[in-house]
Amino acid sequence: MPAVDNITVGVFPPLSVKDMEIKARKLRRHIISMIGKAGSGHPGGSLSAVEIVTVLYFRLLRHKPRDPNWPNRDRFILSKGHAAPLLYATLAECGYFPIDELLTLRQLDSHLQGHTDRQLTPGVEMSAGALGQGLSFAIGTALAGRLNAQDYRTYVLLGDGECDEGQIWEAAMAAAHFKLDNLVAIVDNNGLQIDGWNREVMTLEPLADKWQAFGWKVSEVNGHDLNQLITAFSEAKLNKGQPTVIIAHTIKGKGVSFMENNVDFHGKAPDATQLRVALKELAE
C-alpha cells in the first residue's frame, strides 16, 4: 500500500494549487486507463468532476486512509455513482488501496465495481446505482453528526441530470428545514446526461434560483478552476443556519479532446486507438 505517513491527526497536508493540477492530470489518466482496460464505464462524468474531488480529498477533507471508518472523518458521498472511476482513482492516490488495483475495474471479484459499493471498497461512504438518492443519504449523515455532537462535515456530489429526480428536491427541502449548515452539495453542471443536452431533455434552469428558493446558500463557480473551488468551499464553512450548494460549471469529458461535450462518452469506453490518443493528450 502507498505510504501515507504524512497524515497528521487525520488530515492530509494540503497540496498547493500547482500540485493539485498535477494530481488532477494523474487522476484523469487513471480514469481513462481503468475504463479502457475494463472496456466499459462512464468517462464523461468522471472527467468533468476531477477538480472538485481533487480539492476535497487533497485540500479539504479530514480522512485517514489507514482507518476508513475513523469516526471524526469528513464524509464524501458520491451520489452520481456512475462516476465511480473518479472516486476509485482518488482513493487509490490517497492510499486506501494499491494503485495497481485500479485496473481491475468491473472485473469479477474486484472490489471496484461499476457503481460504488460501501461493502466492497475502503473509503466509499454510500452504495450507489439508482440516481437521486445521495442527497437524502447525505442529510441522514449530517443529521447523525449533529445528534452525536460530532463536528465532521458532509459533502455530496450530484450530477446535473440527476437533478431531474424529484427526490433531489424533496431532500433539498428537508436540508433547509433542518438548517444543515454542516452539509454541502456540489452539482457537477456539465450540461449533458445520457440522453443528450439537459436543455433538451429536461431543462434545469434557472438552477441557482431553484436552490435558493428551496432555502440553500448558492455559489456558482468554474468547476475546473481550483482557486474558485477552494474559495467556495471555504465560504461554505462560514455559512451558518442553512445548507450550501456549489453549482460547478464543468465540461463533460474534460481533458480529452474527442470526449469533451460529447454525449457518446457518457457511458462508453474508448477503444484501443482512442485510449492511446487520450493518454497522449493527458501526458502533454
- The pLDDT of residue 12 is 65
Mean pLDDT score of the chain? 94
Q: Mean pLDDT throughout 23-32?
A: 98
In a domain, 183, yes or no: yes
- The pLDDT of residue 5 is 33
The pLDDT tens digits of the residues spanning 91-143 come to 999 999 999 999 999 999 999 999 999 999 999 999 998 899 999 999 999 99
In a domain, 214, yes or no: yes
In a domain, 248, yes or no: yes
In a domain, 10, yes or no: no
Contacts of residue 149, defined as CB under 8 A and 6 or more positions apart, other chains included, come to none
Residue 147, pLDDT > 60, answer yes
Q: Mean pLDDT throughout 72-97?
A: 97
Share above pLDDT 70 across residues of the chain, in percent, rounded to a whole number: 96
Structurally, the chain folds into a number of domains equal to 1
Q: Mean pLDDT throughout 34-55?
A: 97
One-letter amino acid for residue 65 of the chain:
P
The pLDDT tens digits of the residues spanning 257-266 come to 999 999 999 9
In a domain, 169, yes or no: yes
In a domain, 99, yes or no: yes
End-to-end C-alpha distance for the chain, whole angstroms: 28
Cα separation values, 16 from 13, 107, 109, 224, Å: 9, 35, 37, 15
Cis peptide before 206 (omega within 30 of 0): yes
How do beta strands 244-249 and 217-222 pair? parallel
Q: Mean pLDDT throughout 56-74?
A: 96
Read off the CATH number of the domain in which 129 is found.
Answer: 3.40.50.970
- The pLDDT of residue 9 is 37
In a domain, 244, yes or no: yes
Whole-angstrom distance, CA of residue 30 vs CA of residue 40 = 14
pTM attached to this predicted model:
0.94
In a domain, 14, yes or no: no
Residue 2, pLDDT > 80, answer no
- The pLDDT of residue 4 is 35
- Domain extent, residue 246, equals 19-283
